[in-house]
Amino acid sequence: MNKDISGILCDEAELDSIVKRLAGEINRDYAGKSVVVVGILKGSAIFLADLFRRLEIDCTLDFMAVSSYGSETIPSGSLRIEKNLSTDISGKHVLIVEDILDTGNTLYALKAYLEELHPCSVRLCTLLDKPSRREKPITADYCGREVENQFIVGYGLDYDEHYRNLPYIGILSPSVYRK
């Protein structure tokens, strides 16, 4: 375990189990439909890769980069689209894949933005959900696991761009971000 991690929240086996379950739900719900899977960079990349390989539906892949944290541990409250879609989603089913649903500010704004592009549907798949921090009325259609209000990293989640490469999700020691 990394010295900056005070405990493991989800080990590799649990993550694999979550991804398999979510892929099964998505495969069932989108059977016979074509879906544009939209990964939110950078946090969802590892989760998305594992999930996407398990999808048995007709799907394409696109990415968006949105920012709300920067170097801080709390959301800034502003949505900044750094990379937009390269796919026209008008009349298509869209599945947003994100690493964590926290305050909901970013995903609420992002979902509203995508709905203005006239897709058939927009659904949200998140690996982790922190409902205790929710500020906007948004829920995930597919949720891997609810978590407590702790600062977590690994499996794509970061603190100031570090720790994404951990193969598990760990609790970051406060001494790292309370300097």
Nearest to 23 by CA among 130, 95, 115, 91: 95
Active site residue 102: yes
The answer to whether the CB of 105 falls within 8 A of the CB of 132 is: no
The answer to whether the CB of 83 falls within 8 A of the CB of 64 is: yes
Of residues 29, 58, 99, 102, which has the active-site annotation? 102
Nearest to 77 by CA among 100, 106, 102, 99: 106
Please list the helix, strand and coil fractions of the chain in percent, rounded to the nearest 5, in that order. 25, 35, 40
Q: Is 43 exposed, middle or buried (0-12, 13-18, 19+ CB in 10 A)?
A: buried
Q: How far is CA 109 from CA 66, 105, 116, in A?
A: 10, 6, 11
Question: Whole-angstrom Cα distance, residue 108 to residue 123?
Answer: 11
Mind telling me the catalytic residues?
Answer: 102
